[in-house]
Structure 1
């Protein structure tokens, strides 16, 4: 748990510092931050003004955008290298989210909404408890708390506004039926295969000789199954290191996507009753037996009506929210700093 706390804490302070920079920029006249309408040569980037956008006179600072986009990239692509163009698209999404936030904060003020003070106090108390033993929290607490409260109050107001916009009447039977017919794949249970496995475990760091021995043993077990008439379940109970061994190696019904890459391809070439050759996986060598196949099953509306109704309601709520954001955008004056962030000029900025 400690590493998780440190990660959360490391994210909190950059976010609060960025929020502080954003608040400071809001106090400056918008005219002090010149914008651009076209992407210039890269040489200009270093001297361009430090802001992302001016939204109805409110400045979104470069510090806030840089912190938000960096965190978004870290969260989404922590597992490896991002695909080509993915970072630029994420930057555009992040920019849109920050712009929408400014517009929504303005709308909250226009409607005169008030935050739930008890809810905000409770969240602040949670922060106090979580970081009570942190020297950095003790040192910077007094300067952070006012900004943290302001941010949490905004979050509470925006969540309340979104909930109100998304609160729409339940879908009619006609719309539920139309959705059901239009999206049959959402109400179809995918094809499933029932598999059994015998795993001969090998430590990933074991020498080659250990892997060769496991492969030889797997081959011997396969011969006992194919030519000696041995019982798969019994051999699994005796030899398998997999957790399914006590159940005779039965893995139950699995659908596509549940098996690791490399194994699924081998299973695709098999049919019910087939036994795989010795197959190397991360944990060792294994034998798979394809027990049976359960074809796709499309459910009648009467069976899935609650799910269909939920999906229609969610779609309608999403449409209502998207329309609401679009209306705010239409009335807004938005100036993007594509001089500093050319990626924002590659696609028109619009509501999600």
Structure 2
């Protein structure tokens, strides 16, 4: 079971986690006439259309979370945040350019070879896409190189911080109770007639009687009579947690004792007979079990904090003009 989910999306294997969580825009750096400028970083423009996609994506998340309407104030704040992210990225790119790397092109070609489109029917479209990808990779590699030079890969999470986080968030490391169960299921079609439902019920009652008689094992009877994917495995569902199966199934399965066979249980899928083979109580995972996961989770946060500190340092000596308010 996954106890935590980290949301680090890498555009390339080269650590967008180092270059920032937002995808870098892939546009020529030369100023273009007639385009709205959102900001300038040391006289280099950031255009509005280069931030628009991320702004709209963030606003869409608000709507998915239930916001009926996004206010102008919220839109302006999202736009401001995105401009700041792009300014930070531009500062890192410019700092990376000053390193005068000799192997940048080689790195780009290696990554592009992994991303070459296959079976495309439009050469012109492919050319445009490759140009965009090259610029995006160039920027990411430049920013990454500078961050590495500044020691972002040397960031470590102290053991005491890991233990403190574990202690403060122990509830998040709870593994729910589980039962190892098998079932025999006689399916019932949603449009089944009362007669068909009665026939299915009569069949499962008869199968349950055979289970209790013990002439054949539960596994054998499941293979003979059960429906669904588990039938070929003798009805074995493995260890299941609450809410894996329908609530009527859960209510019975988690109350059964090991070795006990249930009465007939009706769910939206049909009729079931359940047998429990083992039970595991709910428990909190030990620190040693989750230490590796915690380290990855917190390391991303610590690296992002250092990235922010580096960007703030670069801002002090930069000329930044924000045109879009």
TM-score normalised according to structure 2 size: 0.65
Match of 2:105 among 104, 117, 120: 117
Gaps of 5+ in 1: 1-17, 34-49, 339-352
Q: Which has the higher helix share?
A: 1
In structure 1, distance between residues paired with 2:249 and 2:77: 40
State the partner residue of 1:14.
none
State the partner residue of 1:39.
none
- The answer to whether the 8 A contact 1:236-1:245 is kept is yes
Give how far 1:121 is off: 0.7
State the partner residue of 1:135.
121
Encode CA deviations 1:71-100: one digit per residue, 9 max, x unaligned.
6789x89xxx82323995899768745642
Encode CA deviations 1:295-334: one digit per residue, 9 max, x unaligned.
1233444x43xx4155146414413413532663584757
Matches within 5 A, 1:97-246: 99-111=84-96, 112-113=98-99, 114=101, 116-128=104-116, 130-131=117-118, 133-136=119-122, 138-161=123-146, 166-185=152-171, 187-201=173-187, 208-209=191-192, 213=196, 215-224=197-206, 229=212, 232-246=218-232
Encode CA deviations 1:265-309: one digit per residue, 9 max, x unaligned.
65146512444522123xxx24152625311233444x43xx415
SS of 2:65's partner is coil
Structure 2 CA distance for partners of 1:287 and 1:143, relative to 1, 3 Å: closer
SS of 2:205's partner is helix
- The answer to whether the 8 A contact 1:190-1:297 is kept is yes
- The answer to whether the 8 A contact 2:152-2:306 is kept is no
Match of 1:85 among 46, 63, 67: 67
Gaps of 5+ in 2: 1-24
- The answer to whether the 8 A contact 2:40-2:322 is kept is yes
In structure 2, distance between residues paired with 1:300 and 1:207: 45
- The answer to whether the 8 A contact 1:100-1:325 is kept is no
In structure 1, distance between residues paired with 2:40 and 2:171: 41
SS of 1:85's partner is coil
Give how far 1:27 is off: 5.0
SS of 1:244's partner is helix
Match of 1:277 among 262, 265, 268: 265
- The answer to whether the 8 A contact 2:40-2:321 is kept is yes
Instruction: Compute the RMSD of aligned alpha carbons.
Output: 4.3
In structure 2, distance between residues paired with 1:19 and 1:172: 37
- The answer to whether the 8 A contact 1:267-1:290 is kept is no
SS of 2:180's partner is strand
State the partner residue of 2:301.
318
In structure 1, distance between residues paired with 2:57 and 2:302: 28
State the partner residue of 2:281.
295
State the partner residue of 1:3.
none
Give how far 1:253 is off: 0.7
* Matched positions, count: 279
SS of 2:298's partner is helix
